[in-house]
């Protein structure tokens, strides 16, 4: 299968948001090839999304950089799977980055991406609830779990100023209604890739 060049919308976004956009685009293309090739051996992404990989996965994930202003803070991507958005954050230049994935096969894949792309992050091959004492500043997740469950699972690794940046689909409203508004502040932002999707920012009051 021939791997297409990157989508114009993704190229424009990188050009407008990153000084080293040429380097980032090169790495994103290399990452795309690795994911599509490995997806033939394991279920990293839905087969129906391969054709529109740039829009559905790369652009969808990379847009959250606008809500992650400090690349030196401690970041964690939970349920990282194919590395979306964890690997992409590393490509952009985020440091102190942790990727959590309980599947051994997918964890090996994440380490392979790290090696082949020359990236810098730590892979935790375990359940998020088994981690503790990490004091994470920002937590990202995409298609992982409902908002209240994400907060519950991460209680041992966060502090009172931790922010959750979550990529959500149509269910976001019902998920937010379950949260205790007396304890948490939630903000919702539109996604640039889908009218049905939102970026949810959650933090303790």
Specify if 111 maps to a domain.
yes
How far is it, in rounded angstroms, from Cα 163 to Cα 176? 15
Specify if 38 maps to a domain.
no
Over the stretch 57-76, which tens digit does the pLDDT of each residue have?
999 999 999 999 999 999 99
If pLDDT is split at 50, 70 and 90, which confidence band does 2 have? Answer: low
pLDDT given at position 22: 95
Over the stretch 125-179, which tens digit does the pLDDT of each residue have?
999 999 999 999 999 999 899 999 999 999 999 999 999 999 998 888 888 888 8
Over the stretch 44-60, which tens digit does the pLDDT of each residue have?
999 999 999 999 999 99
Specify if 50 maps to a domain.
no
| CATH number where 75 lies | 3.40.50.150
Specify if 1 maps to a domain.
no
If one counts the domains in the chain, the total is: 1
Query: Containing domain of residue 95, as a range?
Result: 64-204
Specify if 57 maps to a domain.
no
Sign for the CA dihedral angle at 36, 41, 45, 46 comes to positive
Specify if 13 maps to a domain.
no
30 vs 56, 59, 149, CA distance in Å? 17, 15, 34
Specify if 14 maps to a domain.
no
pLDDT given at position 205: 85
């Amino acid at each position: 299968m021939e791997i297409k060049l990157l989508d114009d919308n993704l190229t424009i976004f990188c050009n407008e948001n990153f000084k080293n956009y040429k380097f980032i685009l090169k790495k994103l293309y290399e990452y795309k090839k690795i994911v599509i090739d490995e997806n033939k051996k394991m279920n990293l992404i839905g087969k129906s999304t391969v054709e529109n990989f740039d829009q559905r996965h790369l652009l969808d994930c990379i847009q959250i950089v606008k809500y992650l202003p400090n690349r030196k803070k401690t970041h964690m991507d939970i349920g990282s799977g194919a590395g979306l958005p964890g690997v992409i954050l590393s490509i952009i230049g985020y440091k102190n980055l942790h990727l959590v994935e309980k599947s051994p096969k997918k964890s090996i894949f994440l380490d392979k991406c790290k090696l082949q792309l020359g990236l810098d992050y730590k892979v935790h091959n375990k359940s998020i609830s088994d981690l503790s004492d990490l004091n994470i500043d920002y937590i990202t997740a995409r298609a992982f779990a409902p908002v209240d469950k994400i907060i519950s699972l991460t209680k041992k690794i966060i502090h009172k100023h931790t922010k959750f940046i979550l990529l959500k689909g149509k269910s976001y409203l019902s998920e937010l209604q379950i949260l205790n508004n007396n304890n948490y502040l939630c903000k919702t932002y539109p996604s640039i890739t889908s009218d049905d999707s939102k970026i949810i920012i959650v933090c303790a009051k």
